[in-house]
Amino acid sequence: MNGLLRRFKRGQEGITGLETAIILIAFVIVASVFAYTVLSAGLFSAQKAKEAVHSGLQEARSTVELKGNVLGKIENRVLTELYFTVGVPPGGDSVDFTPPTANTTSFVIISYSDAYQVFPTLSWTMAKLNTTTPDNLLDGNELFQITVDLSSVSANTTDEKKPGPYHTFRLELKPPVGAILTIERTIPARVDEIVNLY
């Protein structure tokens, strides 16, 4: 039996401690590179998730809301101007309402649409109702009255397409950041010079 064991051992060399150490070190290096890759990807996705949450909060805080009624000015049974008041909800961020001039564009865009036509931008003006600050930032404690000129909506169109009685339209106030304020109204059958639009 001893002779049989000696024959098996002859010509076979075992793995030395140095070779074993090299193999173990290679496995550790491969595992550490893999772990670094996984951790880097996790940190990158956590950073992107943080940016997405921050961006979403910024959008939600920069919202403009309607405060009060929407009034319309009627001339010859056609809507020519809209008046409404906007404010920032509690906890909201300021919104820049710098009006457009000949040399600049506005940060806030107001658009109009109805069943017959679409106007991506309309002329508008702003009046500060309860503030004396020199800037045009709508802060949480302020109210601005917006006047929208609808003369371009009635120009160069037929009478049935002009915004008159029973006409439904949609106005969108688009701030530079935040949710769009949508105002959809129908002009009543009996109209006065100034009418409350529901």
User: DSSP states of 81-128 as a string?
Assistant: EEEEEEEPPTTPPPEE-PPP-SS---SSEEEEEESS-EES---EEEEE
Summarize pLDDT for 133-166 with one digit per residue, the tens: 888 889 888 999 999 999 999 888 888 899 999 9
Q: What contacts 94, CB < 8 A, 6 or more positions away? A: 88, 137, 138, 139, 140
C-alpha 64/C-alpha 60 separation (Å) is 10
What is the pLDDT at residue 8? 55
Taking the model in full, what pTM does it have? 0.70
Rg (Cα) of the chain, in Å, rounded? Answer: 35
What is the pLDDT at residue 131? 79
Q: Are 173 and 64 in contact (CB under 8 A)?
A: yes
Summarize pLDDT for 60-105 with one digit per residue, the tens: 556 899 999 999 999 999 999 999 999 998 888 888 888 767 676 6
C-alpha 24/C-alpha 17 separation (Å) is 11
C-alpha 51/C-alpha 132 separation (Å) is 36
Residue 24 has pLDDT above 80, yes or no: yes
Burial 14-34 (b: 16+ CB within 10 A, else e): eeeeeeeeeeeeeeeeeeeee
56 CA to centre of own chain: 8
- Using alpha carbons only, give the angle 170, 176, 178 rounded to the nearest 5 degrees: 75
Q: What contacts 165, CB < 8 A, 6 or more positions away? A: 77, 187, 188, 189, 190, 191
